[in-house]
């Protein structure tokens, strides 16, 4: 009461003073206030524009560097599979060199057919092709013994330098110091292009294939490490969703509010901020050194990422549970539902969209995580084989998408650099599909009011 009278007395004077002014023109105080508001709006727009600029720059960089990884240069070669030649090749010690000779002869014939003249030796000529060409042919031959004596059309990969030349990455000047390819090769490639016997095609092998060694970037693909990531995500989902949701429900709905639960709550919040590499070293100590789980295996990666994802899921689930109006809980309790019935029949379904969103965000975070994988050996392992089944998928060494990208970015050959960017495109596409899935699930559950 006294406060009210005091303040009205104090404001009485300026009010009468202001009354005399016209409403049609703003006074200086209002003008200043409006100016500040306008300024603030421009700051906001500026901030958004800066953000957009960086987003566009990022996308442009990724797409311009990475899209070329999705095409690959190859040369169609008809190779006669002479049985005697194959048998003698299989008897020799360095088997692929014999195959190389066979391919070289076929390539020479191909050039001759296209009327491309060259004085290069067969061995030199082979530099146009990937060094993996011989093993590609040999794998086919061993898998298809019935094809002996026939002529089989192969799409053999060109070497990474030739591929780079077609993509504009390799120039004649750059080849001066390069032992892998000479300018003379490029003349042949030019002629081959003119004759239409060399072409860039969509690179399915990059999406579904396995990684290759340092000297054969043209063969490297992200497919196997994508499988590694998939198996890890399965482990993370199967472990972190039930554990995280159960922990949140207990803490939010059942646990007494006392010192202990406060400590637990603070620690969960802190865990969410712990650098991921710490979880990596914990995983190394606990899962590999102590529990003797296999190194580099998706099961271990999944366990480590579960530890990392749990706080995220718990925090978002608790937020989703908190957002459910308490009136729903009392409504259920009021007609004699038990605590658990009220939670599982009413609160949880209403919190479901939030829980799912949190889980998928957690999974997406885990999918892009590299640091903990460094410590458990999932980086540096060359994932060159598909796992032989589900169990093998979990327990045999593999890599993961971000680890594979890191591995490629590390390697010297610029052809790998292109693949690193390409890998990032695939990673982003996977993340984006996960986010779309999150939105769809959210919609589906929300419609059930």
Partner 1 sequence: MTQMPGTIKAAAMTDTKISARNVQVYYGDTHAIKDVNIEIGARAVTAFIGPSGCGKSTFLRCLNRMNDTIDICRVEGSIDLDGEDIYDSRVDPVQLRAKVGMVFQKPNPFPKSIYDNIAYGPRIHGLVRKKADLDEIVASSLQKAGLWNEVKDRLDGPGTGLSGGQQQRLCIARAIAVSPEVILMDEPCSALDPIATAKVEELIDELRENFTIVIVTHSMQQAARVSQRTAFFHMGNLVEIGDTQDIFTNPVDKRTQDYITGRFG
Phi, psi dihedrals of residue 20, rounded to the nearest 5°: -75, -20
C-beta of 22 vs 327, nearer to partner 1 = 327
Helical pair 223-249 and 348-367, crossing angle rounded to 10 deg:
140
Distances (CA, A) of 327 to 106, 138, 140, 248, 324: 80, 71, 68, 20, 9
Q: List the interface residues with partner 1, window 148-187 (CB under 8 A).
A: none
Q: Tell me the closest approach of the beta carbon of residue 322 to partner 1, in angstroms.
A: 16
Cα–Cα dist 170/176, whole Å: 11
The residue within the footprint of partner 1, chosen from 173, 176, 335, 412 (CB under 8 A), is 335
Q: Tell me the closest approach of the beta carbon of residue 449 to partner 1, in angstroms.
A: 5
Longest dimension (CA), the chain: 113
Contact pattern from residue 103 through residue 132 relative to partner 1, giving x for each residue in contact according to CB under 8 A and a dash for the rest: ------------------------------
What stretches of 157-286 show up as alpha helix (H) in DSSP? Answer: 160-166, 183-195, 204-208, 223-249, 259-272, 276-283
Looking at 79-87, 104-112, 345-353, 389-397, which segment touches partner 1 (CB under 8 A)?
A: 345-353
DSSP-derived 3-state class of residue 153: strand
Whether 69 contacts 219, CB under 8 Å = no
Query: Is 1 among the residues that bind partner 1 (CB under 8 A)?
Result: no
Q: Tell me the closest approach of the beta carbon of residue 255 to partner 1, in angstroms.
A: 10
DSSP-derived 3-state class of residue 214: coil
Query: Is 249 among the residues that bind partner 1 (CB under 8 A)?
Result: no
Query: Is 341 among the residues that bind partner 1 (CB under 8 A)?
Result: yes
C-beta of 342 vs 398, nearer to partner 1 = 342
DSSP-derived 3-state class of residue 75: strand
Cα–Cα dist 231/245, whole Å: 21
Angle (CA) 321 324 327, round 5°: 130
Looking at 27-35, 199-207, 217-225, 343-351, which segment touches partner 1 (CB under 8 A)?
A: 343-351
Cα–Cα dist 64/434, whole Å: 24
Q: Tell me the closest approach of the beta carbon of residue 160 to partner 1, in angstroms.
A: 59
Whether 189 contacts 198, CB under 8 Å = yes
Q: Tell me the closest approach of the beta carbon of residue 344 to partner 1, in angstroms.
A: 11
Q: How many Cα neighbours within 13 Å face the side chain of 276? A: 22
Query: Is 443 among the residues that bind partner 1 (CB under 8 A)?
Result: no
Query: Is 264 among the residues that bind partner 1 (CB under 8 A)?
Result: no
Closest listed residue to residue 102, CA positions, set 160, 145, 144, 152: 152
Q: Tell me the closest approach of the beta carbon of residue 257 to partner 1, in angstroms.
A: 6
Query: Is 449 among the residues that bind partner 1 (CB under 8 A)?
Result: yes
Looking at 11-19, 193-201, 232-240, 329-337, which segment touches partner 1 (CB under 8 A)?
A: 329-337
Cα–Cα dist 319/310, whole Å: 14
C-beta of 261 vs 435, nearer to partner 1 = 261
Cα–Cα dist 87/207, whole Å: 34
Query: Is 337 among the residues that bind partner 1 (CB under 8 A)?
Result: yes
Query: Is 346 among the residues that bind partner 1 (CB under 8 A)?
Result: yes
Looking at 106-114, 148-156, 279-287, 336-344, which segment touches partner 1 (CB under 8 A)?
A: 336-344
Query: Is 191 among the residues that bind partner 1 (CB under 8 A)?
Result: no
C-beta of 197 vs 333, nearer to partner 1 = 333
The residue within the footprint of partner 1, chosen from 97, 330, 385, 433 (CB under 8 A), is 330
Cα–Cα dist 196/39, whole Å: 61
C-beta of 23 vs 335, nearer to partner 1 = 335
Query: Is 332 among the residues that bind partner 1 (CB under 8 A)?
Result: yes
Residues of this chain that bind partner 1 (CB under 8 A): 256-257, 325, 327-338, 341, 345-346, 350, 448-449
């Amino acid at each position: 009461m006294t406060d009210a009278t005091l303040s009205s007395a104090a404001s009485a004077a300026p009010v009468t003073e202001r009354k005399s002014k016209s409403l049609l023109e703003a006074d200086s105080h209002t003008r200043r206030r409006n100016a500040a508001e306008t300024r603030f709006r421009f700051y906001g727009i500026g901030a958004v524009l800066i953000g957009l600029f960086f987003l566009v720059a990022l996308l442009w960089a990724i797409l311009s560097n990475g899209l070329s990884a999705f095409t690959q240069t190859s040369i169609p070669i008809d190779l006669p599979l002479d049985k005697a030649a194959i048998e003698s090749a299989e008897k020799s010690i360095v088997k692929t060199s014999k195959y190389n000779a066979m391919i070289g002869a076929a390539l020479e014939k191909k050039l001759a057919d296209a009327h491309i003249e060259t004085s290069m030796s067969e061995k030199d000529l082979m530099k146009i092709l990937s060094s993996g060409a011989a093993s590609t042919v040999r794998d086919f031959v061993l898998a298809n013994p019935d094809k002996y004596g026939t002529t089989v059309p192969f799409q053999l990969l060109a070497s990474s330098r030739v591929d780079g030349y077609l993509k504009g990455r390799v120039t004649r000047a750059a080849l001066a110091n390069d032992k892998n390819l000479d300018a003379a090769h490029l003349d042949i490639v030019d002629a081959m292009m003119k004759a239409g016997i060399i072409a860039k095609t969509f690179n399915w092998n990059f999406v579904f294939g396995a990684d290759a060694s340092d000297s054969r970037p043209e063969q490297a693909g992200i497919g196997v490490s994508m499988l590694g990531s998939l198996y890890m995500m399965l482990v993370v989902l199967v472990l972190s969703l039930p554990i995280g949701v159960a922990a949140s429900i207990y803490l939010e709905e059942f646990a007494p509010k006392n010192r202990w639960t406060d400590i637990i709550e603070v620690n969960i919040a802190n865990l969410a901020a712990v650098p991921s590499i710490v979880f990596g070293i914990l995983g190394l100590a606990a899962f590999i050194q102590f529990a003797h789980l296999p190194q580099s295996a998706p099961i271990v990666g999944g366990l480590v990422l579960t530890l990392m994802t749990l706080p995220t899921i718990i925090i978002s689930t608790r937020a989703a549970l908190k957002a459910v109006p308490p009136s729903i809980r009392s409504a259920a309790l009021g007609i004699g539902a038990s605590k658990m019935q009220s939670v599982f029949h009413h609160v949880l379904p209403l919190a479901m969209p939030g829980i799912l969103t949190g889980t998928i965000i957690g999974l997406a975070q885990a999918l892009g995580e590299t640091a903990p994988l460094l410590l458990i050996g999932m980086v540096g392992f060359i994932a060159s084989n598909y796992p032989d089944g589900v169990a093998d998928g979990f327990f045999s060494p593999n890599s993961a998408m971000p680890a594979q990208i890191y591995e490629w970015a590390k390697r010297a050959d610029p052809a790998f650099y292109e693949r690193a960017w390409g890998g990032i495109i695939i990673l982003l596409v996977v993340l984006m599909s996960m986010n779309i899935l999150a939105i769809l699930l959210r919609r589906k559950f929300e419609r059930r009011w």
